[in-house]
Amino acid sequence: MENIHKKFIDDLIGAEKLWQSADHFVYVTLPVVKDNKLMVRALENLHKALVLIITTILKFEYLYKRINLTSDTRKNLELFFSKCSFRYSLGREDIEIIKQILYLGKKHKDSGFEFSKSGKIIILDDSLKHEELTVDKIKKFLDVEKKLLENTNRIFRSLV
């Protein structure tokens, strides 16, 4: 059991490092370099960190028999939003932002074409629908993800 708890903490440390990297891109590197492609790197790190945090929370909650996981990742994600979000102090707005991070991260991975236009990154999909990524949006993503990380760390450390 001790090894499992160590794995949970290690995963959260990994997620925190990804979050710190995204934060550094947005608040330190981007203002100096002024290359909007750094927003895409920040989104990638935020997406990876968020997936790691959610996966770790789901495993943790399953271990303590608070939820039952399935082999369907969509159902598990809905389970996270319906059963775990309240326990980790997420409001409706936080949940919507988390869904937006997951959506934009997937959109970026599947995108055939992205370009920078007047301080924004435009992500196009195969049907030429587009999504915009701005610095303000990334900063909002950083804030919500930091809140989730802090709440998760607090809960895990109190039980481990």
For the chain, give every domain's residue range. Answer: 2-109+135-159
Q: Is residue 160 predicted with pLDDT exceeding 70?
A: no
Mean pLDDT to the nearest integer, 91-99:
97
**Does the structural domain 2-109+135-159 have CATH classification 3.40.50?**
no
pLDDT tens figures, 49-65: 999 999 999 999 999 99
Model-level pTM?
Answer: 0.94
User: Between the CA of residue 107 and those of 53, 102, 117, 125, 158, what are the distances in Å?
Assistant: 20, 9, 18, 7, 36
pLDDT at 41: 96
pLDDT at 125: 83
Do the Cβ atoms of 123 and 106 come closer than 8 Å?
A: no
Question: Scanning the structure block, which residue is given the tokens 């707005």?
Answer: 93
Tokens of 159: 């039980």
The DSSP H or E segment spanning 113 is strand 113-117
Question: Scanning the structure block, which residue is given the tokens 């997620």?
Answer: 15
- Residues with Cβ within 8 Å of 123's Cβ and at least 6 positions away in sequence, in order, are 104, 107, 108, 111, 114, 130, 131, 132, 133
pLDDT at 156: 87
The chain-wide mean pLDDT, for the chain, equals: 94
